[in-house]
Structure 1
Amino acid sequence: MIIGPWLEREGPRKASILGGFLFCAGNLITALALYLKQMWLIYLGYGVIAGYGIGICYISPVSALQKWFPDHRGLASGIAVSGFGAGAIVSAKLEVALIQHTGLPTTFLIMGLGYFVLIFISGLVLRTPPPGFSPASLNDTSLDSEMHQVEMGKTVEDDESAEKSNSKKLDDDDDKKEWTLLEALVSTDFRLMYVMFFSNILFGLVAISRLSNMITDIFGKSAEHASTVVAINGGFNLSGRIFFSLLSDYVGRKNAYVLMLTCQLIILASFYFITTGGSTTYWLFLMCMWIIASCYGGGFGSIPAFLTDKFGQYNIGACHGVILTAWSLAGIVGGIVFTSVFKATSEDRDISDPFPYNVNVWWMLGIVMVGWTALLFVKPTERDRKVYKMLGRFFPKK
């Protein structure tokens, strides 16, 4: 959030190298803190310094990809964001092996240096495209070409003369590409998107953190079985980042989020029946959790392209950084409220009773409904309106 404007001025190469340095320094400070047994130093090293580093490294490649692939922004951001999740899976396995052989402080030392080497090499190839860059895949008849022309300040001809003036007004107002950063951050659309993004990832965060407990407590499965399901759930999280991002390139960003939030609403509304059916509904429960994981990942993969379409490619760094604070907020709010409600409702109850989980679902259902409603008021982008127009040809008004 703080480094976003500087990233856009200096470019992703400097930003990623700076982020790698901070992330490495945070890991090294954490190794020292563990050796000295100083908790405050862990907070400073891993919490603050490494946190700044990983945040910069997260938004740097995404910002560059939005500029290099204006015709496939969704897919580009989805692949980049899925790499973030895949790296967490790989590093977790590697860290366990290192801890067993070298100990915890040395593990942070080795991992920190390794991270810096990989990030530094990757950062050297990052750069922004030259002025006037246009990918060869854009052509005069494609939807992406029309959207690119809008970005370059050109008008798009409307097929129906009766809608021409309204469409032009929308192009001038809703798809404005010369937003200043302040205009973007204080706009109504950005506030609505913040609420939407918060609600989209809230249940996913809780489901991921509590999935193993629900499998063992409610359905009586073994811990080994639960760990296997959690690993598969991680795969759906990654695939959702690519699938929904790619889908948004074709159906529009807003429409993709409508689909994700609608899936979550249906699952949350039926969660009571899924968890009280015993073994007969177990596989239905797993399918729902994997859909939730896909929607959770899809929200992360699609949001950079959505922000770029709405506020322009030179504001994506800061806008993306700010909206990711909804992720942190959802983790804090979701964790605290869920734990408080769970403890209050699980007293004098059997561990297999799903009631404490079901009570939590109701307040999350309300938040997702608020996010779904907020999304409806976000002004559609040009890509979304093209889809609406196409559907209008198939379903004309009488």
Structure 2
Amino acid sequence: MSVTAFAPPPFLSRERTIASAGFNRWLVPPAALAIHLCIGMAYGFSVFWLPLSRAVGVSAPVACPADMSAVATLFATSCDWQISALGWMYTLFFVLLGSSAAIWGGWLETAGPRKAGLVSAFCWCGGLVISAAGVYLHQIWMLWLGSGVIGGIGLGLGYISPVSTLIKWFPDRRGMATGMAIMGFGGGAMIGAPLANMLMQHFASPTSVGVWQTFLVMAAVYFVFMVGGALSYRVPREGWAPKGWTPPVAAANAMVTHRHVHLNVAWRTPQFWLLWAVLCLNVSAGIGVIGMASPMLQEVFGGRLIGLDLTFSQLDAGQKAQIAAIAAGFTGLLSLCNIGGRFLWASFSDTLGRKMTYAIFFVLGFGLYALVPTTAHMGSVVLFVGAFCIILSFYGGGFATIPAYLADIFGTHMVGAIHGRLLTAWATAGVLGPVLVNYLREYQIASGIPRDAAYDQTMYILAGLLALGLVCNLLVRPVAEHLYMKDEDLKKMSKAALAKEDAHADFEDFEEEAKDGGVAVLVRGSTPVASGSTPLPLVVAAWLVVGVPLAWGVWITLQKAVILFH
């Protein structure tokens, strides 16, 4: 049998995703959001921990025998899992996200966003199906493999799939474009977590906590959205530019290049590793806070959250339940600031510049982290919460700004692959940040420090990480001239990639018609492959598909956040 028999369908090739004349570029961000809002549920997976910790006992956890080995617990069906074991899925998510983005980022540039988006859909949703089977059979290793490993690969491919495409569609607004998509990853938990709670309540019974059924339903819903988003991706023709826009003239010392650096060269430059450190340090500080936001507020303020002059340890069970509800509102508010910062700061970076934007993150972030212990000892909930809201906006803004920063430094030709390599910084931060916060807290409490002061030293250390990040950001300079790709080499690469894609297409011998308003039309002979302007109702409908669920998630989160100020 011929090898070509196993070739993917022609419509999956990158060449078939090239937009026709009149295509509205504002259709691309909702396609990216459709994928990011689904995979963003990784942030909200903790909603499953408590139900899964009593999957056998249903009403109460059934502890495993004290003499049972760690290996035996992986296959035990008669006792419940510990939350610490389930929490490994969270670590696997972000380690595999960074690793898969780094490994397959180069493939994405040649395969195109449609293939990457579809693979992401099969991995993320398929991982949920395997996890559902793991819950049903009570095999925790299936959860780690399904959602943790396979789902983590889907996270990486889904996360980077739209980055390069959006930057090429919005050369005039790089930060805003990537901010719109990456905002969805931060907002995915706002939709997914309350949806998961509703589904678990619906499926719960005297013999089931309703998790495996919830996994299956969410896998089906997410698959529809992700496949729809992937099939909606379009890439601009080489040389396309927005109508009426001309690239700004590059200054001799400008931080924005109009040249391109190859992936194999980019990751060996000092600029890459400085930006790697910039992202890692910014994320380490933020992700450590996200993981401990709820217990931090409760332990720092204790009874003061409900008008009582009592420490956390002095509260009874009912009072602790009251402040836990308030802390949930705090966590929800931080989520809103996280996603808002992704869009707002990335958009501001188009005017301020990426280097200046990151300088703001680090300078103001340093001051806010250093002031947090003071606001706590003052007993000011408003100042404490306000400081962390701004800090989390910097955390989200850092994620959304870094792709545009990379495009400024290394050019747009292979920015998706370069961004994939850089996301190993996220995987590192996903371990470093929580370890710093969690272990320092335990060490302080074990040393006899009161719970309301156990986070003071941690905040100062996180402030130190931001100071180091500021130094790395200040050291970023334009790439040396000899590292840029030569124009003739760039043309050869483009032709080779197009020829490779055409080998899998069901048509050939394309030409490029005269450009109309900056949009190139692919033709076969004299017949366009596709033509006509995108109808405005279609653009509005695409935004409503992703906008309505996002608005619902924001509304639910705001309702919880209001409790914080009662």
Q: How high is the sequence identity, in percent, across the aligned residues? A: 36
CA distance in 2, matches of 1:364, 1:207: 9
Is residue 268 of structure 2 the alignment partner of residue 186 of structure 1?
yes
How many aligned residue pairs are there?
353
> Which amino acid in the other structure matches residue 274 of structure 2?
L
CA distance in 2, matches of 1:353, 1:197: 30
> Contact 1:28 / 1:109 at 8 angstroms: preserved in 2?
yes
CA distance in 1, matches of 2:158, 2:234: 14
Is residue 103 of structure 2 the alignment partner of residue 2 of structure 1?
yes
| Map of 1:319 onto structure 2 | 418
1:83 is displaced (CA, Å) by: 1.3
SS at match of 2:162: helix
> Contact 2:301 / 2:452 at 8 angstroms: preserved in 1?
no
Is residue 399 of structure 2 the alignment partner of residue 300 of structure 1?
yes
Is residue 236 of structure 2 the alignment partner of residue 236 of structure 1?
no
Residues 55-90 of structure 1 deviation map (CA, whole Å, 9 limit, x = unaligned): 111111122101110110000000101112222210
CA distance in 2, matches of 1:272, 1:119: 43
| Map of 1:56 onto structure 2 | 157
| Map of 1:134 onto structure 2 | 241
Residues 312-369 of structure 1 deviation map (CA, whole Å, 9 limit, x = unaligned): 2122222212222222211211212322221111126475432x20111222222211
CA distance in 2, matches of 1:327, 1:38: 29
- 2:170 pairs, out of 69, 72, 86, with 69
- 1:101 pairs, out of 198, 202, 207, with 202
| Map of 2:357 onto structure 1 | 256
CA distance in 1, matches of 2:344, 2:473: 20
- 1:371 pairs, out of 457, 462, 469, with 469
Structure 1 stretch displaced more, 311-320 or 235-244? 311-320
> Which amino acid in the other structure matches residue 204 of structure 1?
G
Point out the structure with max Rg over C-alpha: 2
> Contact 1:219 / 1:352 at 8 angstroms: preserved in 2?
no
| Map of 1:394 onto structure 2 | none
CA distance in 1, matches of 2:149, 2:156: 11
Residues 273-313 of structure 1 deviation map (CA, whole Å, 9 limit, x = unaligned): 122112xx221111100000100010011111111111121
Structure 1 unmatched ranges of 5 or more = 140-144, 148-155, 159-166, 382-398
- 1:266 pairs, out of 353, 367, 370, with 367
CA distance in 2, matches of 1:242, 1:293: 13
Structure 1 stretch displaced more, 302-311 or 199-208? 199-208
Matches within 5 A, 1:38-57: 38-57=139-158
Structure 2 unmatched ranges of 5 or more = 1-101, 204-209, 306-322, 480-566
TM-score of the pair, normalised by structure 2: 0.60
CA distance in 1, matches of 2:244, 2:289: 40
> Which amino acid in the other structure matches residue 462 of structure 2?
M
TM-score of the pair, normalised by structure 1: 0.85
SS at match of 1:106: helix
Classify 1:380/1:213 alpha carbon distance in 2 versus 1 (closer, same or farther; 3 Å): farther
| Map of 1:200 onto structure 2 | 282
CA distance in 2, matches of 1:215, 1:365: 19
Is residue 456 of structure 2 the alignment partner of residue 358 of structure 1?
yes
> Contact 1:217 / 1:351 at 8 angstroms: preserved in 2?
no
| Map of 1:384 onto structure 2 | none
CA distance in 1, matches of 2:417, 2:399: 15
> Contact 1:177 / 1:310 at 8 angstroms: preserved in 2?
no
Residues 16-63 of structure 1 deviation map (CA, whole Å, 9 limit, x = unaligned): 011111111111111111111112221111111111112111111122
> Contact 1:178 / 1:312 at 8 angstroms: preserved in 2?
yes
SS at match of 1:345: helix
SS at match of 1:3: helix
CA distance in 1, matches of 2:174, 2:262: 21
SS at match of 1:128: coil
SS at match of 1:219: helix
CA distance in 2, matches of 1:309, 1:105: 45
CA distance in 2, matches of 1:348, 1:189: 42
> Contact 2:292 / 2:437 at 8 angstroms: preserved in 1?
no
CA distance in 2, matches of 1:128, 1:309: 19
1:134 is displaced (CA, Å) by: 0.6
CA distance in 2, matches of 1:53, 1:353: 40
1:129 is displaced (CA, Å) by: 0.5
> Which amino acid in the other structure matches residue 118 of structure 1?
F
Residues 97-124 of structure 1 deviation map (CA, whole Å, 9 limit, x = unaligned): 1112221111111111211111111111
| Map of 2:226 onto structure 1 | 119
Residues 210-248 of structure 1 deviation map (CA, whole Å, 9 limit, x = unaligned): 222122111122222221122122111111111111111
CA distance in 1, matches of 2:428, 2:345: 23
> Contact 1:176 / 1:310 at 8 angstroms: preserved in 2?
no
> Contact 1:196 / 1:375 at 8 angstroms: preserved in 2?
yes
> Contact 1:218 / 1:352 at 8 angstroms: preserved in 2?
yes
> Contact 2:445 / 2:451 at 8 angstroms: preserved in 1?
no
**Alignment RMSD:** 1.8
| Map of 1:21 onto structure 2 | 122
> Which amino acid in the other structure matches residue 191 of structure 1?
W
| Map of 2:46 onto structure 1 | none
Higher helix fraction (1 or 2) = 1
CA distance in 2, matches of 1:177, 1:116: 38
- 2:248 pairs, out of 142, 146, 150, with 146
